[in-house]
Amino acid sequence: MKYSLQLIYLCVFLIFGSCNQSGNSKPTKEVPKAIYPVLPAELHQSLFNKVDYIDFIFHDYPFSMSQSEKQSIQTNISYIGREPVFDIPASCKPIARSFFQIEGEIILEADIYYSEACYFYVFVQDGKAKYANNMSQSGIGFYKNILAQAVNTAKGING
């Protein structure tokens, strides 16, 4: 009798245990994969510490700009977020390309994407996309301001 009672408890435990396990199983969500890896932290820090000049060439705007003051350069580099880019929609086009220089040598280039739902950088080395990082909120505000100034200047010249 003692053994049969233990056997019944064991069966009940196994039945409820297996029911509970199957009820708790959830379908696993697929983790999105980044288009390119993020800019390595060491390279990001090297840009911050060593870059002494940044050129910006805007594609559809009649201006370009440069930065040569260390504080401005570092502020601009801080606009590079640390989160990856998971998708580049076909509607997203870069508005500019930036050229990061150290002592006159271009060490890295970046396509700057700035449009609705497209706020990120794609870094290019040796003519090929290599890294992609989102743009920080401060970076979005910076480019918004720059483009607004360009539009206002163009209106003043043409208007």
Q: Are 117 and 108 in contact (CB under 8 A)?
A: no
| Residue 27 located in a structural domain | no
| Residue 26 located in a structural domain | no
Per the structure, the count of domains in the chain is: 1
For residue 109, the cross-strand partners are: 99, 124
Give dist(CA 129, CA 125) in Å, integer: 7
| Residue 3 located in a structural domain | no
Which residues constitute the domain of residue 58? 41-158
Give dist(CA 131, CA 125) in Å, integer: 9
pLDDT exceeds cutoff 60 at 65: yes
pLDDT exceeds cutoff 50 at 7: no
| Residue 129 located in a structural domain | yes
| Residue 13 located in a structural domain | no
| Residue 104 located in a structural domain | yes
Tell me: the pLDDT tens digits for 21-56?
444 555 556 667 889 999 999 999 999 999 999 999
CATH of the domain at 63: 2.60.40
| Residue 19 located in a structural domain | no
Tell me the helices (H) and strands (E) count for the chain, helix number first.
Answer: 4, 7
pTM over 0.85: no
| Residue 34 located in a structural domain | no
**pLDDT for residue 75:** 98
